[in-house]
Structure 1
Amino acid sequence: MEVPELLRRAADLVPADVRSDAGLSAEDVRDYLGHDEWEIALGVLQDLGGIQWQPIAYWNLLADAAQRMWLSRDAAWCRWRGAETRNGIIRADLRLATREARGRRLPVPGAGQLRPLWAIGCPDLPDGLADLHVGRIWVESAPEIPPGGQGPIRLLPLTPANWRHLRPGDVITMHEQQPAAGTATLTEIQLPRSCAM
Structure 2
Amino acid sequence: MDVVEILEAAALLVPEDVATSNDFTASDVWDDLAHDEWEAALCVLQESADGWTAPANFWERLGRAAEMLGFERSREWCRWRDTETRTGLVVRADLVLRPAGETFRRTPIPGAGVLRPMWGIGNRRRDGEPEGDIARVWVEFAPELRPGDRAPVRLLPLDPSRWRHLVPGDRITLYECAEAGGTATVLEPRPPA
Into which bin does the TM-score normalised by the smaller protein fall?
over 0.9
What's 1:100 paired with? 101
Cα distance in 1 between the residues matched to 2:20 and 2:103 = 42
Is the counterpart of residue 142 in structure 1 residue 142 in structure 2?
A: yes
Structure 2 SS opposite 1:99? coil
- Report the residue type matching 1:146 in the other structure: R
CA separation in 1, counterparts of 2:192 and 2:47? Answer: 18
Structure 1: distance between partners of 2:24 and 2:192 = 24
State the shift of 1:35 in Å: 1.4
SS at match of 2:180: coil
Indicate how the Cα distance of structure 1 residues 192 and 41 shifts in structure 2: closer, same or farther if over 3 A, else same.
closer
* Equivalent residues of 2:94, 2:185 under 8 A apart: yes
Tell me, yes or no, if the aligned pair for 2:117 and 2:176 is still in contact at 8 Å.
yes
Aligned to 1:114: 115
**Aligned-pair CA distance for 1:99:** 2.4
How far 1:146 moved relative to its partner?
Answer: 0.7
Instruction: Quote the Cα distance in structure 1 between the aligned partners of 2:36 and 2:103.
Output: 51
Q: Aligned equivalents of 2:91 and 2:65: distance in 1?
A: 26
Matched residues in 2 for 1:192 and 1:161: separation? Answer: 14
Match of 1:38 in 2: 38
Extract unaligned runs of 5+ from structure 2: none
Partner of 2:151: 151
Contact 1:103 1:180 (8 Å CA) reproduced: no
Trace 1:80-91 onto structure 2 (pairs within 5 A).
Answer: 80-87=80-87, 88-91=89-92
Q: Alignment identity in percent?
A: 48
Q: Which amino acid aligns with 1:118?
A: W
* Counterpart for residue 180 of structure 1: 180
Distance 1:191 1:155 in 2: 13
**Residue pair 2:20, 2:51 contacting (<8 A) in 1 also:** no
User: How does the TM-score come out when normalised to structure 2?
Assistant: 0.93
**How far off is 1:102 after superposition?**
2.3
TM-score by length of structure 1 reads 0.92
- Residue 43 of structure 1: CA displacement? 0.7
Q: Does 1:75 align with 2:75?
A: yes
Alignment size in residue pairs: 192
CA offsets 1:85-108 (integer angstroms, 9 cap, x no match): 222211111111122322411111
SS at match of 2:185: strand
Question: Cα RMSD over matched residues?
Answer: 1.6
* 2:161 is the alignment partner of 1:161: yes
SS at match of 2:93: strand
One-letter code of the match for 1:113?
A: V
Q: Note the residue ranges of structure 1 that are not aligned, 5 or more in a row.
A: none
What are the superposed Cα offsets for residues 137-162 of structure 1, whole Å, 9 maximum, x if unpaired? Answer: 00011111111221111100010011
- Preserved CA contact (<8 Å) 2:95 2:152: yes
2:28 aligned partner, one-letter code? D
Distance in 1 (alpha carbons) for counterparts of 2:50 and 2:107: 33
* Rounded Cα–Cα distance in structure 1 between residues aligned with 2:63 and 2:122: 34
User: What is the aligned partner in structure 2 of residue 9 from structure 1?
Assistant: 9
Deviates more, 1:44-53 or 1:91-100: 44-53
2-structure distance, mates of 1:10, 1:24: 15
